[in-house]
Structure 1
């Protein structure tokens, strides 16, 4: 039954995000500066001066089992990613309190950014607004986006992943409107 519910949510999610396309390989990555979960200022331009690449990924929230699995996989392979000169950054609309819940669940030790005004999600063309019907369905499954994100916007990202090289160019994109599909660590390592 739970699997059937997740399939139904997935279908609704896929239909809802039809307009987003994400950025393409070869595109100049939009710069951003934001505070991470530890209060550290994260600037894409600064990171690219001190690292060979940035792995930038977008996740929906601590309530999403697919997000938690992906974050845990990134954490479990963090040494392999950093050995290739990468800095890993997660971006989410969830509140700082819920970012901390994500960290508790996944043991993530890399930077996590609350994208409060959705500037980063907008710049990378991953933001979508859920319609009321989908919001109601999510609530029926125990997911309260108002509480999780600290607002009533009902905004989530397509869970996309980008590798940005030291020149600021996007060299790898995983953008799939099916929220269950994520970039594998093996594909990230191959493109670093």
Structure 2
């Protein structure tokens, strides 16, 4: 009886390890709980430029990937990073990687970013926050920041209700994840300070160390 119970328990734990549970939206950028090295990419429903819903795992299955989360095409620091990644994209492709950017921007705004920056890599829309929560990167902006961003930038992001009942803008802490063909994360860079992004050379070097 004990052996049977232990077997069932082990099977349940094994099953749980393959299905990442979406993490709650953090109270602020300092309290996010991001996925770490050694974990695997989670399942998350996102949208393509055409507005079609796809699972991130389907896009990364069997493909070494570099996934970066950014706040939106309205963010100058994000645009600068996207330009830097564009410059090293040929080298990343040569190493066998695909480059994927994820933000809360709508598919329409993603198209504008693709045109404005002449990008060729994949951009995905996460308006429902599925990927951001699956990776543990989503957080509520402060009341002051929410009001300032909405007024100055005229964002159309959906506001979310905090546990306290306040409506706030939700953004991802900017992050970079590098995974192998099996979805195992070998490198991650997550910084609550959205003004600081990893150098392109660091990403290129980290990618070169991932076993193919």
| CA–CA separation in structure 2 for the residues paired with 1:44 and 1:80 | 23
Structure 1 contact 17–158 (Cα < 8 Å) conserved:
yes
Matched positions, count: 172
Q: What is the TM-score of this pair, normalised by structure 2?
A: 0.73
Residue of 169, 174, 178 corresponding to 2:184: 169
- What root-mean-square deviation, in Å, do the aligned CA atoms of Structure 1 and Structure 2 show? 2.0
- Whether contact under 8 Å (1:92, 1:113) holds in the other structure is yes
Whether contact under 8 Å (2:45, 2:131) holds in the other structure is: no
Query: What is the TM-score normalised by the length of structure 1?
Result: 0.81
Question: Any residues of structure 2 matched to 1:60-139 within 5 Å, and which?
Answer: 60-139=71-150
Pairwise CA distance, 1:42: 5.9
- In the alignment, structure 1 segments of 5+ residues that lack a partner are 1-14
Alignment partner for residue 66 of structure 2, among 46, 52, 55? Answer: 55
Measured against aligned partners, the alpha-carbon deviations of 1:150-178 in whole angstroms (never above 9, x if no partner) come to x2331111010100111211100110000
Matches within 5 A, 1:18-57: 18-38=30-50, 41=54, 43-49=56-62, 51=63, 53-57=64-68
Residue aligning to 2:159: 152
Shift in CA distance, 46/102, structure 1 to aligned 2, threshold 3 Å = closer
Unaligned runs of 5+ in 2: 1-26, 161-168, 208-212
Could you report, residue by residue, the CA deviation over 1:1-30 in whole angstroms, capped at 9, with x for unpaired residues? Answer: xxxxxxxxxxxxxx9312103111111221
Instruction: Give the structure with higher Rg (CA).
Output: 2
Q: Are 1:75 and 1:108, in contact at CA under 8 Å, matched by a contact in 2?
A: yes
